[in-house]
Amino acid sequence: MAAKRRSSRAPRSGALRRVLVLHGPNLNLVGIREPGLYGHATLAEIDTRLRELAGELGVTVDSFQSNSEGALIDRIQAARGLVDAIVINAGAYTHTSVAIRDALLTTELPVVEVHLSNIHKRETFRHHSLVADIAVGQIAGFGPDSYLLGLRAAASLLRARK
């Protein structure tokens, strides 16, 4: 098992800390797709709540959703030097994408993994995350609040790094 990643990158000075929030495949259908499992809040509503919380926490949030693994990887790679932390719900790619894992590693940024549902109470194939061992932590099972808790964790990490 790989060791937990610790970044030696110093945070950007002077500016508000920026957090990239990534939403993976099918998360564009949140609120419509299996609301008993994922809840009724739409992705737009979740992003609005994230921006509101970011203001309270003194950070900024950039959100991005894609069903395409390549687009998510491109966005992760572009984040290096532009953001200070990543909050990611890689959706089904959590369990399958070595490429997303590798892209996250190359940023040398703190990563917080989030999931709307508790992946450990679901099908066995969802119990393993390819992101977990490189993330600072994982938050799962709190519906849309998982994202808010993830943003709080990322902001706390960034405050501690000042």
Active-site residue (options: 40, 93, 95, 115): 115
Does residue 86 contact residue 19 with C-beta atoms inside 8 Å? yes
Tell me whether residue 115 is one of the annotated catalytic residues: yes
Active site residue 128: no
Q: What tokens does 155 get? A: 């902001």
Choosing from 38, 93, 95, 128, which is the catalytic residue? 38
Catalytic positions, please?
Answer: 38, 115
